[in-house]
Amino acid sequence: MRNNLLPNNYWKVLRMTDDVTQSPEDHDSPVDMTETRAGFVAIIGAPNAGKSTLVNELVGAKVSIVTHKVQTTRTRILGIALRGAAQVAFVDTPGIFKPKGRLDRAMVSAAWQGSQDSDATVLLIDSVIGMNDEVEAILKGLEQAGRKAILALNKIDLVKRDSLLMLADRLNKTGQFTQIFMISATKSDGTEDLINHVAGMMPKGPWLFPEDQLSDMPQMLLAAEVTREKLFINVHQELPYALTVETESYDIKKDGSIRIQQVIYVQRESQRSIILGKNGSKVRTIGTAAREELSEMFETPVHLFIYVKVRDRWQEDPERYRVWNLDFQA
């Protein structure tokens, strides 16, 4: 469904430079390729631009956790989609911002590395926020890397037409983009054009993953991510950024059910008390929500056991970064 705020030529694809080989009309029809293609597309942007929501939408399944809080994504997460004969591996990256500590630096480094290693880069911008210091820093980073990007203006359903077109024009003049797409990831508006476009950009070659694979994330790590999502939703202020979740064991039982044991690490005893709640009520609520979602994801009963421990310097422990495939020395 197209958004009636925008002229038709803006809805599809804005042609940005003379060297763009595909015209807007090319994206009205499904990708038609007789040879298989496969490649990687990095989705980068400022925190909370909607990158994880977009990746989940493009893949057609939840492969990345989503909350209303910034910096939810801590590592590169792969979501794999098929379009015609093309297999596109979307790389959901941490938000790019001015880092303050070691974990922040590792997250931002992972985002830029994800862009560098990919066949194409999509810069996702929250149209409601528009241009700010974080977006300008990302544009500068792309310029310094000599890398052009595809621009996706997200959340267009929340922005007035005139403001949206002014933002698009301003970004167009940077000369940093090959195409502009206007989308709403939550409404599935414009996303079909985007995936068709990037699918056509993928290099010719065999698929890189099995046809039915949606992500490369191990189930132990996925289980930890789901629990961390529930923590972000249920605890507030700075506490979500002071914790991490690790899956210590993941055992498939004879009856097909799964027993998962996890540890939530926090930095102070007072934080542990908050997560536990009165008589353990808070952690039970979190555990129930995580267990229900994991049971649905894995399509089998899940028995989830969660412990909360204090480890004041977990952000300075190289092992924590290894688990998340982050560079401790970034």
Per-residue pLDDT tens over the stretch 40-97: 999 999 999 999 999 999 999 999 999 988 889 888 999 999 999 999 999 999 999 9
pLDDT at 34: 65
Enter the pTM of the model: 0.86
Which sign does the torsion angle of CA 234, 325, 246, 217 carry? positive
253-288 residue pLDDT tens: 999 999 999 999 999 999 999 999 999 999 999 999
Structure tokens at 64: 């990345």
Residue 36 pLDDT greater than 60, yes or no: yes
Looking at residue 48, its amino acid is: N
Domain extents for the chain? 8-201, 219-323
Q: Looking at per-residue confidence, does 150 or 19 come out higher?
A: 150
pLDDT value for 19: 40
Q: What is the pLDDT at residue 7?
A: 40
Check whether 31 has a pLDDT greater than 90.
no
Map tokens 């421990």 to a residue. Answer: 309
Q: State mean pLDDT over 238-265.
A: 95
Reply yes or no on whether the pLDDT at 9 is more than 50. Answer: no
Answer yes or no: is pLDDT of 33 > 90.
Answer: no
* pLDDT band with cut points at 50, 70 and 90 for residue 330: confident
Q: What band does 169 get if pLDDT is binned at 50, 70 and 90?
A: very high
Q: Please give the Cα distance from 119 to 117 (Å, whole number).
A: 7
Contact 125, 137 (CB under 8 A): no
Non-local (6+) Cβ contacts of 173 within 8 A are none
Is a pLDDT exceeding 90 seen at residue 157? yes
Q: Round to whole Å and give the CA distance between 280 and 181.
A: 47
At 29 the pLDDT is: 46
Q: In the CATH hierarchy, which top-level class contains the domain 219-323?
A: alpha beta
- pLDDT (tens digit, 9 = 90+) per residue, 178-201? 999 999 999 999 999 999 999 999
pLDDT at res. 240: 86
Q: Is the pLDDT of residue 238 over 90?
A: no
Number of Cβ atoms within 10 Å of the Cβ of 218 = 12
175 DSSP 8-state letter: T
Is it true that domain 8-201 has CATH number 3.40.50.300? yes
Q: How confident is the model at residue 239 (pLDDT cuts 50, 70, 90)?
A: confident
Percent of the chain with pLDDT over 70: 90
Mean pLDDT (the chain, rounded): 89
- Overall average pLDDT of the 219-227 stretch: 95
Given a cut of 50, is residue 15 above it in pLDDT?
no
What amino acid occupies position 282? K
Specify the pLDDT at position 28.
45
pLDDT for 8:
40
Tally Cβ neighbours within 10 Å of residue 186: 15
SS3 assignment, position 178 = strand
| Residues ≥6 apart with Cβ < 8 Å to 255 | none
Q: How far apart are CA 291 and CA 226, in angstroms?
A: 9
* pLDDT tens track for 129-152: 999 999 999 999 999 999 999 999
